[in-house]
Structure 1
Amino acid sequence: MRSFASAALLAATTALAQDSQDFSNRGNFGSPFPNTTYNEYVNDNPVVAAGSNGHQMSPPKYPSPWTEGLGDWKEAYDQAREFVGQLTLEEKVNLTTGTGWQVDRCVGQTGSIPRLGFRAMCLQDSPLGIRYADLVSAFASGVNLAATWDRGLAFAQGAGMGSEHKGKGVDFQLGPVAGPLGRTPEGGRNWEGFSPDPVLTGQLFAQTIRGIQSQNVMTNLKHYIAYEQEHFRQVPEANGFGYNITEPSSSNLDDVTMHELYLWPFADGIRAGAASVMCSYNQINGSQACQNSYTLNYLLKGELGFQGPVITDWLGGHSGVSSVHAGLDMLMPGDSDSYNNGYSYFGSNLTIAVLNGTVPAWRVDDMAMRIMAAYYKVDADTNRTDINFSSWTKDTYNYEHYYVGQGWTKVNDHVNVRADHGALIRHIGSASTVLLKNVNNTLPLSGKEPLTTVFGEDAGPSPHGPNGCDDHGCDDGTLAMGWGSGTADFPYLVTPDTAIQNTVLQNGGSYESIFDNYDLDTIGALARRSNASIVFANSDAGETFIQVDGNLGDRNNLTFWQGADDMVATVAGNCSNTILVVHSVGPVLLEEYKNNPNITAILWAGLPGQESGNSIADILYGRVNPGAKLPWTIGKKREDWGTDILYNDNDDAGVPQINYKEGNIIDYRAFDLHNKTPTYEFGFGLSYTTFEYSDLKVENLNASAYVPFMGHTTAAPTFRNFSMDPADHTFPANFTRVNLYHYPWLNSTNLTEASGDPNYGSSDFFPEGALNGSAQPVPKAGGAPGGNPSIYDVLYRVHATIQNTGSVVGDEVPQLYLSRGGPYDPVKELRGFERLSIAPNMTARVSFDITRRDIASWSTVEQDWYVQNTTKHVWVGSSSRNLPLSGVLA
């Protein structure tokens, strides 16, 4: 198969990129080709143009690399080898196979190994808490963590979530999220992740991983890779909504974009020691993500040196033998192409595949090794807790095997794992609230205003209660998290109405609120009497299996929900001191509100979790000085982003083609390139104090030259011989089966009969190299978890001084951007940030390390990183468009 573009074209592209270019005269960070339209610029990029077309083919890469204990995985590898060396074939298969949907207590559960006293592994959502459990916390969403720009808070939230998962007996937390990255602002699950910028996402992703795993819980990085929209992600789901597709959508993108944008944060996560990776529902360049040998074998396990297991998203597997060769290690929840159908691609079929030679024994050994190495990597055997909850019922007693009604027992111990996490969640909520507008110091309020009024359904409680809608699949009342599998039950939800009213009453003021967005006459009459009108509006999104108000996961628009636009206009038309608070999953169009003179302040509060109201009241009344920054751009109109959701099937064959023609030019990069002035730029956020920047210095550390990795793996190890006689792998005598449970044993000594598939194992076709267990060359960009260690060498250190010139202590986030200077590079890219707390009239000195990766580009010909011979400019400031300090890397 051919790669992303023809060899001749790629060679020409690389030669062009390596020419010395100087685009230093880019006034106001505009396009290097100011007379060229955005689409022309992107389509003139040879790599992007050739590598983002429909129906292109992902190149085959075999065999699947085996774990070797690279980097700091050595001790875990040694422990795993000792454990796996004791296992039978069936016990290894048990580790790789989910037992079935709703057949055990967790959303995903592997088989156990009773002979060694090893209980089943529990895999449980979500990236912001524990889904389907009581007495747990509802943490802030990923997008709120991104708005803090605070690595310490990311670690703290990760540790809090990890401790709760451990307390419930969970082994794998299904999170955090770097896919979707945020290619389109309408993307339904963007809020589960962090930011469309790969550096901001990568840094907070890594710290969240470290936090979770500090509690002996394995992370599961989601969703790998180029999973950027909900529409068309699964065939049955899309068919159920009236779309006649035959395969999941294909995300078609070039090699440079893959490396410089979408793969970047996953490299950070793997370098941070992430235990496992979840492959996504979509196809990448025409190949299913969970059996894409290029993205799994070559990129993930080869280039990035990933040592843990690849786990399917639920029902994300599409085959058995093919996916095993392509790098899949665990099938979840064990069912094949639909829940509770009684069939599995793994389980007994994987046992058969080993016995009939279609899967080599070393590959199953590697699958088991990866799973157990991940387990030992986080010291999961330390004080391991029994699974003490059921995902399917809050009752104390019910069926152990819920779906099939077998095994009546105590299934919920109702263990309270919340500790004091409410205080942390409240702090993150206020630390992630972005002050966008504040005319004449409207905020903070004193709390002593004669009459404070609050308006909007988003300020109050849902009539169904905080957990009244399954997986939060509705938009009733205040919005504190999106919908879908990335959610958790609220132990309580502090509404803005409650928190603001409490503050006002404590200060002796008067207070009234209206939650009905459509009662405009009453709203207008109350607003006319008000001294401070605080109006709440939201915009929701989530996962496609739930449709909310006609939105199939992805948002249909970037405007407010619940009829809030007319409500906001009514309040602002009647009160000259109107404060707008936005709860949203991502950008909403705010241009008219920014320009409305009666709207004196605007706050973006995101999805802050259970302490939502307290967090926003802390900001409104000055108990906390806002220091958050936007993790994405807010544009004037939807078209300004240059990308959008594919809402309708565009392929006659029923395989929707999503062509990433924009390459790595998304979010603020697109606004820069196209000379679009945003309403509020990426990285923007105000404070109740002011800051000044000065004294930029660039220090060249004279690091050693880049060294491409040269070397081979060992030969694939195997750990225990076993009988090849099918009679030795049938069910044990007198074994009692659970209905629909996926077991590793055979029900017949006839392998074809045992598989239930008359064609199973009959093909003699194998991809070239798939069965080859000999030593294999390691990619030049590989060599360690996260990639070639040389790419992380620090080449420069940039210093700057920030002074608090106001009267109150405040947090500032200085940001470093640079230009790599090539003809197809973004105008500027974030490469460093730091959140600082500075007292009045005091200064802080900040330093940014610039690594080789920060200034490197990807060569499609060499399949390695290289540094272009260009002038590289660097800027430091408070947002992507306010960069008062500049210099050159020399």
Structure 2
Amino acid sequence: MTPESRISELADAMTLAEQVSLLSGSDFWSLPAVERLSIGKLRVTDGPNGARGGGSLIGGVKSAAFPVGIALGATWNPDLLHQIGQALADEVKSKNAHVLLAPTVNIHRNQTNGRNFECYSEDPILTAELAVGYITGLQSQGIGATIKHFAGNESEIQRTTMSSDVDERTLREVYLVPFEAAVKRAKTWAVMSSYNRLNGTYTSEHGWLLNTVLRGDWGFDGVVMSDWFGSHSTAPSILNGLDLEMPGPARDRGEKLIAAVESGEVPAGVIRQRVINILRLMARTGALDDHRPFSESANDRPEHRALIRKAGAESAVLLQNNGLLPLTNPGKIAVIGPNAAVAQIMGGGSAQLNAHYRVSPLDGLTAALGADRVIHATGCDNGKFQPILQTPLKMALYPTTDLSGEPTTVQDLTEAQGFWFGEIAPGIDAAHFSARITGQFTAPKAGTWRLGLRVAGLARIRVDGVQVAEAWETWTKGTTFFEEGCEEVLADLPLTAGQTIQIEIDLSSKPSANLAFTALAVGLGLPTGQAEIDEAVAAARAADVAIVCVGRDASWDTEGADLPGISLPGGQVSLIRAVAAANPRTVVVLQTGGPVEMPWTGEVAAIVQAWYPGQEAGNAIADVLLGQAEPGGRLPQSFPVRYEDGVTFTQDPEIYPGLDGHVRYEEGVFIGYRHHDKTGTDPLWPFGFGLSYTNFDISDLTIGPIDAEGNFQATLKVTNTGDRAGSEVIQLYLTPAPCPVPRPKRELKAFAKVHLKPGETQTVTLSLDARAFAWFDTQTRRWIASAGTYGVEIGRNAMDLPLQGRITLAETIIRLP
């Protein structure tokens, strides 16, 4: 019996109730089994930079933390992403799951999207190629990919209700391109709809998006699932293409859906087709016959450690270098900055996980050079919130919301934060409970400490019996915890060195706005000032080289909130300038999920953009700085001189951040480097830019011939003219022939990453087809490659394209979507 025959027979053998049961989750991470028919239980797990498993966003079974999406985007290496996909399949299997909720392929429309760190690039072709590598690697090992978020989720502001208003041409030419490649080329087994509305309709019930485009135009035969709590209806979602409502238990399906079928509102045949899609995914992943009891393991694999370290180095982008790097004989180094001793390995939100370990830049450089050659100073802080209170705590849980009665259980906590959903203890539901958390804190230093409280729920804090902060009576919805929490409530606590205080935190659940969970974070920190900068300056003066580790962290680059701008937060600009004035041999290591303004570039010797490269962060950074590895990255996103130079900086709030529930993509296809070309505003660092420790020469361009189908090749030679092995990314851009619609000045259409030894030459062939010439005609809904002469530009980035030629398409070619 073929797999298709089997799933068809199973679907027909089910009762209506059994069929409907498979169209909603049974809990947060799994579907129900159908025991009568011996159908197993499908389990999913969050990605995309690891496999968290079935636990909370905080804590849980440990997992390998791989580089984040923008870091992988900077590798420009689909083969590497294929390897990472294969490795992630191992991670998913260790969590007893069958499907990974990844990759994230939304496009970098603007510089401030809080989730840019999780996405690959501002360019659809680069994003598509990387997504295909990731998905094919993952699914080659029997684990399903879930490409997300389909579609129009390019901002985190009011994302659960906002309508992204985008014309069809822009969707087809930019935002849908990675999804189309994932379906047609990688054969992805699942797609996740986004939270937002698209042109006024929620994507989870968008018939044009899910039925016409995804299933009709592209031939998708897998599962469309909602983002968590991202479905909003019974009949509209099922009729318009949503197979699976997540998470469980059912909200708009279950008995409601059975009633809709019995009343004739939803045809039984539609239910059957949705069930067939679910069973097909189960068959592809082996879940159909998986009856193992659920268990998770933390497998710290040496081969995954090595791959993460390699990928971290290959993602690092060398932005500036006056010859200081690599540090082959650095002498004594000062490792300075808020990201020096703290390993910033990932962004915030649903992609975060409990990593096996975290290597900071200080750790990596100390391991490589020895502690006697390393000086450390913090210099300043850069967190958006107060640092989480780390101290032993007791949490007494109550089945009521007002701490009445007796606690049913008491749990130990190691820090004052938590994220709770579902059943969190026997008889305790995260949607209806309260807790009292108690512990002590002893101040290591005298000063005015700052306490911070964030809660999705209600909370109040007492210190030594006196209430000092509350978000209970005065709780107001803010932007924390995926826009379900309040803004941080602050209180100052003057403490002497060695003073011990008693802390009590009362917590209660409350009805949620969109996403059903309760969350708490209590921070306590001692703010930094001029004394810390002075200490950093002294360290820089005492060293031969100063390495300043700055940027952001997961409180800034996070799901659920956009950035307020792209300047470095806190006192980091002052720190960089003070250190550079004290030591001209200063290297700045940036860790961010996107661009930052750099008014200090002329004051420092070298700049490395290291992103959030996973659990091996400090080792990968040390490898690059010390020359043990090549900085193999190239920018996947343009870095503007100023935030004001970006496409979404405008006086029209409907263009960004949105107005009255709508955000209008007025710029159309002109985002990223296309925007800079259109406006004539030079970026600080262009798309595709990155330096090497060696030098390359590109030459001997040959173009064509072009055949009747519009296929052609461009070939060139690449030579490593330096004395080190290294890599170069060869990028091909097309300039348009005349056509009826405005087109970008140039568009990336092909690229290749070349690794060469000193003196080695390689011939590179870049292949294109008719689609590379095409624009999307919204009247006929066809791709049109207009006849005419196109420019072919090849080089190292969007502003360095020394090899140029032309190719003529003799006749217009029209293709179906």
**TM-score (ref. length: structure 2):** 0.76
Does structure 2 retain, via aligned residues, the 8 Å contact 1:217–1:380? no
Letter in 2 for 1:351: I
Does structure 2 retain, via aligned residues, the 8 Å contact 1:485–1:543? no
Does structure 2 retain, via aligned residues, the 8 Å contact 1:699–1:797? yes
Q: Which residue of 1 aligns with 2:189?
A: 275
Q: Which residue of 1 aligns with 2:546?
A: 533
How far 1:646 sits from its partner (Å)?
Answer: 10
Residue 335 of structure 2: which of 454, 477, 480 is its match?
454
Kindly indicate whether residue 267 of structure 2 is the aligned counterpart of residue 353 of structure 1: no
Q: 1:645 to 1:154 in 2, by over 3 A?
A: farther
Give the secondary-structure state (helix, strand or coil) at the position aligned to 2:83.
helix
Per-residue CA deviations over 1:412-469 (Å, capped at 9, x if unaligned) read: xx45364521110000000100011110x211102x43321010110113xxxxxxxx
Q: Which residue of 2 aligns with 1:299?
A: 213
Measured in 2, the distance between the counterparts of 1:294 and 1:645 equals: 30
Q: Which residue of 2 aligns with 1:499?
A: 364
Letter in 2 for 1:303: D
Give the secondary-structure state (helix, strand or coil) at the position aligned to 2:48.
coil
Q: Which residue of 2 aligns with 1:250?
A: 163
Kindly indicate whether residue 132 of structure 2 is the aligned counterpart of residue 217 of structure 1: no
Does structure 1 retain, via aligned residues, the 8 Å contact 2:42–2:287? no
Alignment map for 1:536-615 (pairs within 5 Å): 536-540=549-553, 553-590=561-598, 592-596=599-603, 599-615=604-620
Greater relative contact order: 1 or 2 (C-alpha under 8 angstroms, separation 6 or more)?
A: 1
Please list every run of 5 or more consecutive structure 1 residues that lacks an aligned counterpart in the other structure.
1-73, 101-106, 235-247, 336-342, 390-413, 462-477, 547-551, 705-793
Per-residue CA deviations over 1:351-398 (Å, capped at 9, x if unaligned) read: 121111111111001101111222334555587864314xxxxxxxxx
Alignment map for 1:818-829 (pairs within 5 Å): 818-821=734-737, 822=739, 824-829=742-747
Measured in 1, the distance between the counterparts of 2:208 and 2:37 equals: 36
Q: Which residue of 2 aligns with 1:173?
A: 100
Per-residue CA deviations over 1:53-101 (Å, capped at 9, x if unaligned) read: xxxxxxxxxxxxxxxxxxxxx965444324323322222112111124x
How far 1:852 sits from its partner (Å)?
Answer: 1.6
Per-residue CA deviations over 1:558-577 (Å, capped at 9, x if unaligned) read: 01234311111111111110
Per-residue CA deviations over 1:181-216 (Å, capped at 9, x if unaligned) read: 111110011111100100000000111111111221
Letter in 1 for 2:207: S
Give the secondary-structure state (helix, strand or coil) at the position aligned to 1:111.
coil
Give the secondary-structure state (helix, strand or coil) at the position aligned to 1:429.
helix
Measured in 1, the distance between the counterparts of 2:258 and 2:37 equals: 20
Q: Which residue of 1 aligns with 2:441?
A: none
Measured in 1, the distance between the counterparts of 2:792 and 2:287 equals: 43
Q: Which residue of 2 aligns with 1:95?
A: 22
Kindly indicate whether residue 732 of structure 2 is the aligned counterpart of residue 816 of structure 1: yes
Give the secondary-structure state (helix, strand or coil) at the position aligned to 1:458.
coil
How far 1:661 sits from its partner (Å)?
Answer: 0.5
Per-residue CA deviations over 1:218-251 (Å, capped at 9, x if unaligned) read: 11111000111111113xxxxxxxxxxxxx1111
Q: 1:417 to 1:493 in 2, by over 3 A?
A: closer
Kindly indicate whether residue 717 of structure 2 is the aligned counterpart of residue 801 of structure 1: yes
Measured in 2, the distance between the counterparts of 1:301 and 1:857 equals: 22
Alignment map for 1:699-848 (pairs within 5 Å): 699-704=704-709, 795-821=711-737, 822=739, 824-848=742-766
Does structure 1 retain, via aligned residues, the 8 Å contact 2:24–2:244? yes
Q: 1:654 to 1:629 in 2, by over 3 A?
A: closer
Measured in 2, the distance between the counterparts of 1:544 and 1:144 equals: 13
Number of aligned residue pairs: give it: 648
Alignment map for 1:578-657 (pairs within 5 Å): 578-590=586-598, 592-596=599-603, 599-644=604-649, 655-657=660-662
How far 1:545 sits from its partner (Å)?
Answer: 9.0
Residue 377 of structure 2: which of 514, 517, 532 is its match?
514
Q: Which residue of 2 aligns with 1:668?
A: 673
Q: Which residue of 2 aligns with 1:10?
A: none
Does structure 1 retain, via aligned residues, the 8 Å contact 2:29–2:247? yes
Measured in 2, the distance between the counterparts of 1:511 and 1:207 equals: 40
Does structure 1 retain, via aligned residues, the 8 Å contact 2:40–2:290? no
Kindly indicate whether residue 74 of structure 2 is the aligned counterpart of residue 191 of structure 1: no
How far 1:644 sits from its partner (Å)?
Answer: 4.5
Give the secondary-structure state (helix, strand or coil) at the position aligned to 2:748.
strand
How far 1:860 sits from its partner (Å)?
Answer: 0.8
Per-residue CA deviations over 1:690-748 (Å, capped at 9, x if unaligned) read: 001101111225144xxxxxxxxxxxxxxxxxxxxxxxxxxxxxxxxxxxxxxxxxxxx
Measured in 2, the distance between the counterparts of 1:838 and 1:567 equals: 38
Measured in 2, the distance between the counterparts of 1:453 and 1:818 equals: 46
Does structure 2 retain, via aligned residues, the 8 Å contact 1:539–1:559? no
Measured in 2, the distance between the counterparts of 1:819 and 1:544 equals: 34
Residue 868 of structure 1: which of 762, 775, 786 is its match?
786
Does structure 1 retain, via aligned residues, the 8 Å contact 2:78–2:133? yes
How far 1:640 sits from its partner (Å)?
Answer: 1.3
Q: 1:516 to 1:118 in 2, by over 3 A?
A: farther
Q: Which moved more, 1:815-824 or 1:183-192?
A: 815-824
- Choose between structure 1 and 2: higher strand proportion: 2
Q: 1:437 to 1:626 in 2, by over 3 A?
A: same
Residue 434 of structure 1: which of 317, 325, 328 is its match?
317
Q: Which residue of 1 aligns with 2:525?
A: none
Does structure 2 retain, via aligned residues, the 8 Å contact 1:227–1:282? yes
Give the secondary-structure state (helix, strand or coil) at the position aligned to 1:685.
coil
Q: 1:582 to 1:543 in 2, by over 3 A?
A: closer
Q: 1:427 to 1:305 in 2, by over 3 A?
A: same
Q: 1:589 to 1:668 in 2, by over 3 A?
A: same
Does structure 2 retain, via aligned residues, the 8 Å contact 1:79–1:373? no
How far 1:302 sits from its partner (Å)?
Answer: 1.3
Does structure 1 retain, via aligned residues, the 8 Å contact 2:551–2:568? yes
Q: 1:162 to 1:95 in 2, by over 3 A?
A: same
Q: Which residue of 2 aligns with 1:422?
A: 305
Q: 1:308 to 1:495 in 2, by over 3 A?
A: same
Does structure 1 retain, via aligned residues, the 8 Å contact 2:225–2:242? yes
Give the secondary-structure state (helix, strand or coil) at the position aligned to 2:305.
helix
Runs of 4+ off more than 6 Å: 542-546, 645-651
Per-residue CA deviations over 1:570-593 (Å, capped at 9, x if unaligned) read: 111111100000000011112x23
How far 1:217 sits from its partner (Å)?
Answer: 1.2
Give the secondary-structure state (helix, strand or coil) at the position aligned to 1:889.
strand
Measured in 1, the distance between the counterparts of 2:265 and 2:7 equals: 25
Q: Which residue of 2 aligns with 1:481?
A: 346
Does structure 1 retain, via aligned residues, the 8 Å contact 2:654–2:663? no
Q: 1:646 to 1:556 in 2, by over 3 A?
A: farther
Q: 1:375 to 1:352 in 2, by over 3 A?
A: same
Measured in 1, the distance between the counterparts of 2:567 and 2:618 equals: 22
Q: Which residue of 2 aligns with 1:162?
A: 89
Q: Which residue of 1 aligns with 2:327?
A: 445
Letter in 1 for 2:588: L
Measured in 2, the distance between the counterparts of 1:588 and 1:885 equals: 30
How far 1:645 sits from its partner (Å)?
Answer: 9.4
Letter in 2 for 1:97: S
Kindly indicate whether residue 25 of structure 2 is the aligned counterpart of residue 118 of structure 1: no
Give the secondary-structure state (helix, strand or coil) at the position aligned to 2:694.
coil
Q: Which moved more, 1:275-284 or 1:557-566?
A: 557-566
Does structure 2 retain, via aligned residues, the 8 Å contact 1:164–1:418? no
Does structure 2 retain, via aligned residues, the 8 Å contact 1:122–1:387? no
Give the secondary-structure state (helix, strand or coil) at the position aligned to 2:548.
strand
Per-residue CA deviations over 1:320-348 (Å, capped at 9, x if unaligned) read: 0111111111101135xxxxxxx611112
Q: Which residue of 1 aligns with 2:699?
A: 694
Q: 1:859 to 1:543 in 2, by over 3 A?
A: farther
